[in-house]
């Protein structure tokens, strides 16, 4: 068993990934979290649901990960006082998730150190909670002015630089408050939540198929990862296994999404150190990948390619040849560009030792995904908890120890080359067969399913809860940016202000993915 506790009975949730679920009383939560943390595990997600109509109480949900797999805990909370023990003392990344759970559902973390509003921004009246089933949006919306209480840093020569929430270009909004002395950053505090779209509430009124389209739009640069995780959660509830060809196709699409994003980021990172040549060259390559996506699959960013029960796209022999030629071209061009980045003294001077997150701090704060692997956090769901067809692919995990911008660049290069190799291997296995698709139109009643997919930024999780009629009662998509945004505040300390755009881009976190 992945977790041992006398009051916890776990049952296997799905065969797609090693995942279990069980119910536990609130008072037992700290001991379980301590056990997971001390065993080298970490928190993946925390969310809540309103189960008062069915069971008479609210529910707190946690997904914890250790070497055995994913454990999804359900914690019933009283309807009159939905309170639970603070777990941010074990998992610092839980703090913002707990604040969001209060803003959306009124679930209160006892003895939590930070209870400032995270998502509200004056959009709804204080004391009303949008994800409660009795929430009346028409009566609850407001435009009350609201000032966020940033932490003040005092001392001789210390002053503040506010950046955002509106940024230049089309960057999504986020407020960054720098406390500096000279050009050196003493503290950075973020306030996000400006892109709140009501996605979780919207899911409640959608069919399974409509929900799939919405899931793919939670964070547009990770549409394949979210769509697959949503489909996996639905298939978990329905106990359906998609056809083998559909699974191979999903993996191909996921690796193409990874390649496109890594190419774009490597270009942006060159641009942030004034190497406009690198920006132009990498974006030429990314544009070719996107054009091939549009020609082969009908969408530059592969939206709506994955559906519950299978896929909505196919690939013929001619399409395979196009991808094979693309892989050969990319491998050649990216090797040349990597050599230029590695040998460019100005680039390396800006990359090396900038925005460093040491492995010990990364482990303590729960840094995950690409940024985590650059700080020696060896977690990759394609390796440890490989769903089909990754269980048939020998994925080589890219890790590094230095934890600086240079390390995050190295991991991107290594993962890009590995994705090219994986695409070739996937296409060998992507053969025509007679397996019929398994379309899902409706889910069983009172079900719970989980999907976990290693997106390009990190692991994407989607949880689906169904009601007594099999409709979507609660859908919670979770982006790895939840864990990684707080770490960025630490990465920038003692660096100079002009290096913040570079450090920020080396993480390249999602604003919208963690603001539903």
**pLDDT score at 63:** 97
Single residue among 108, 140, 172 that ends a domain in this structure: 140
299: in domain: yes
Residues 208-224: tens digit of each pLDDT: 999 999 999 999 999 99
Do 136 and 261 fall into the same domain? no
1 pLDDT exceeds 60?
A: no
Q: Which CATH number covers residue 423?
A: 1.10.645.10
Ramachandran region of residue 19, left (φ > 0), alpha (ψ -120 to 50) or beta? beta
**pLDDT score at 184:** 95
DSSP 39-104: TT-EEEEEEEEEEHHHHSEEEEEEEEEETTEEEEEEEEEESSS-EEE--TTT-TTHHHHHHHHHHH
Do 248 and 134 fall into the same domain? no
Overall average pLDDT of the 75-93 stretch = 96
Ramachandran region of residue 18, left (φ > 0), alpha (ψ -120 to 50) or beta? beta
Q: Environment class of residue 497 by beta-carbon count within 10 Å: exposed (0-12), middle (13-18) or buried (19+)? A: middle
Do 304 and 437 fall into the same domain? yes
**pLDDT score at 437:** 66
373: in domain: yes
**pLDDT score at 51:** 92
Do 372 and 501 fall into the same domain? yes
Do 488 and 376 fall into the same domain? yes
230: in domain: no
Q: Shortest CA distance to 31 belongs to which of 90, 76, 83?
A: 90
**pLDDT score at 343:** 97
Overall average pLDDT of the 11-18 stretch = 87
176: in domain: no
Tokens of residue 236, six digits: 């978990």
Residues 474-489: tens digit of each pLDDT: 999 999 999 999 999 9
Do 486 and 364 fall into the same domain? yes
307 pLDDT exceeds 90?
A: yes
Mean of pLDDT over the chain: 93
Q: Environment class of residue 501 by beta-carbon count within 10 Å: exposed (0-12), middle (13-18) or buried (19+)? A: middle
434: in domain: yes
Residues 181-210: tens digit of each pLDDT: 999 999 999 999 888 889 999 999 999 999
DSSP 278-333: HHHHHHHHHHHHHHHHHHHHS-TT-TT-EETTEES----HHHHHHHHHHHHHHHHH
Q: Shortest CA distance to 507 belongs to which of 487, 418, 191, 497?
A: 487
Residue corresponding to tokens 């982006």: 479
Quote the number of domains for the chain: 2
- Domain containing 47 equals 11-120+130-140
**pLDDT score at 196:** 86
Percent of the chain at pLDDT exceeding 90:
83
Higher pLDDT: 465 or 138? It is 465
**pLDDT score at 17:** 86
Residues 215-267: tens digit of each pLDDT: 999 999 999 999 999 999 999 999 999 999 999 999 999 999 999 999 999 99
**pLDDT score at 108:** 97
Residues 442-463: tens digit of each pLDDT: 999 999 999 999 999 999 999 9
If one counts every other C-beta atom within 10 angstroms of the C-beta of residue 122, the result is 14
Q: Which CATH number covers residue 76?
A: 3.30.460.80
Q: Which H or E run contains 14?
A: strand 11-14
Strand blocks (E) in 169-323: 175-181, 184-191, 306-307, 310-311
Percent of the chain at pLDDT exceeding 70:
98
364: in domain: yes
Cα distance between residue 80 and residue 67, in whole Å = 37
Residues 143-157: tens digit of each pLDDT: 777 788 999 898 889
181-219 CB burial, b ≥16 within 10 A, e <16: eeeebebbbbbbbbbbeebbbebbebebeebbbbbbbbb
Do 115 and 250 fall into the same domain? no
**pLDDT score at 7:** 77
**pLDDT score at 436:** 65
Ramachandran region of residue 399, left (φ > 0), alpha (ψ -120 to 50) or beta? beta
**pLDDT score at 435:** 65
174: in domain: no
**pLDDT score at 83:** 97
**pLDDT score at 136:** 85
27: in domain: yes
**pLDDT score at 195:** 83
Residues 267-285: tens digit of each pLDDT: 999 999 999 999 999 999 9
**pLDDT score at 433:** 63
Ramachandran region of residue 366, left (φ > 0), alpha (ψ -120 to 50) or beta? left
Overall average pLDDT of the 375-404 stretch = 96
Overall average pLDDT of the 489-515 stretch = 95
Do 111 and 251 fall into the same domain? no
Ramachandran region of residue 376, left (φ > 0), alpha (ψ -120 to 50) or beta? left
Residues 410-439: tens digit of each pLDDT: 999 999 999 999 999 999 998 866 566 677
Q: What is the pTM of this model?
A: 0.96
Is residue 127 very low, low, confident or very high in pLDDT (cuts 50, 70, 90)? confident
126 pLDDT exceeds 90?
A: no
168 pLDDT exceeds 90?
A: no
């Amino acid at each position: 068993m992945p977790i041992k506790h006398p009051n916890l009975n776990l049952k296997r949730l799905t065969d797609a990934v090693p995942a279990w679920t069980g119910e536990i009383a609130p008072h037992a939560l700290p001991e379980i979290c301590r056990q997971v943390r001390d065993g080298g595990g970490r928190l993946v997600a925390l969310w809540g649901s309103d189960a008062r109509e069915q069971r008479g109480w609210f529910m707190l949900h946690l997904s914890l990960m250790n070497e055995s797999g994913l454990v999804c805990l359900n914690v019933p909370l009283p309807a009159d006082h939905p309170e639970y023990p603070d777990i941010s003392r074990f998992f610092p990344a839980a703090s913002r998730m707990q604040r969001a759970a209060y803003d959306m559902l009124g679930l209160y973390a006892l003895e939590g150190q930070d209870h400032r509003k995270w998502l509200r921004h004056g959009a709804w009246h204080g004391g009303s909670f949008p994800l409660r089933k009795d929430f009346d949006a028409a009566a609850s919306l407001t435009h009350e002015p609201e000032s966020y209480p940033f932490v003040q840093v005092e001392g001789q020569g210390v002053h503040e630089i506010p950046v955002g929430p509106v940024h230049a270009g089309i960057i999504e909004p986020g407020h960054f408050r720098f406390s500096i002395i000279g050009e050196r950053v003493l503290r950075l505090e973020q306030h996000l939540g400006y892109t709140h779209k009501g996605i979780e509430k919207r899911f409640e009124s959608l069919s399974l198929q409509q929900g799939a389209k919405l899931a793919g739009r939670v964070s547009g640069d990770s549409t394949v990862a979210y769509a697959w995780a949503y489909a996996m959660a639905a298939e978990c509830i329905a106990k359906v296994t998609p056809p083998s060809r559909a699974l191979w196709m999903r993996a191909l699409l996921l690796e193409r999404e990874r390649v496109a994003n890594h190419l774009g980021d490597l270009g942006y990172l060159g641009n942030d150190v004034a190497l406009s040549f690198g920006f132009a060259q990498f974006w030429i390559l990314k544009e070719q990948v996107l054009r091939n996506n549009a020609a082969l699959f009908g969408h530059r960013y592969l939206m709506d390619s994955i559906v519950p029960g299978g896929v909505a796209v196919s690939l013929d022999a001619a399409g395979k040849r196009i991808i094979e030629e693309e892989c050969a071209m990319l491998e050649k061009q990216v090797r040349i560009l990597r050599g230029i980045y590695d040998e460019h003294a100005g680039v390396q001077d800006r990359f090396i030792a900038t925005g460093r997150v040491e492995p010990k701090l990364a482990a303590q704060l729960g840094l995950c995904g690409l940024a985590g692997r650059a700080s020696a956090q060896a977690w990759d769901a394609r390796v440890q908890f490989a769903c089909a067809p990754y269980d048939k692919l020998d994925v080589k995990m890219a890790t590094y120890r230095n934890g600086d911008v240079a390390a995050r660049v190295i991991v991107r290069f290594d993962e890009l080359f590995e994705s090219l190799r994986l695409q070739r291997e996937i296409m060998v296995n992507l053969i025509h067969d007679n397996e019929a698709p398994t379309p899902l139109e409706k889910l069983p009643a009172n079900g719970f399913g989980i999907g976990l997919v290693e997106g390009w930024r990190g692991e994407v999780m989607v949880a689906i809860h169904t009601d007594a009629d099999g409709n979507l009662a609660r859908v919670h998509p979770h982006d790895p940016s939840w864990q990684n945004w707080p770490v960025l505040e630490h990465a920038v300390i003692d660096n100079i202000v002009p290096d913040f755009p570079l450090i920020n881009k080396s993480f390249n976190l999602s604003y919208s993915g963690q603001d539903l």
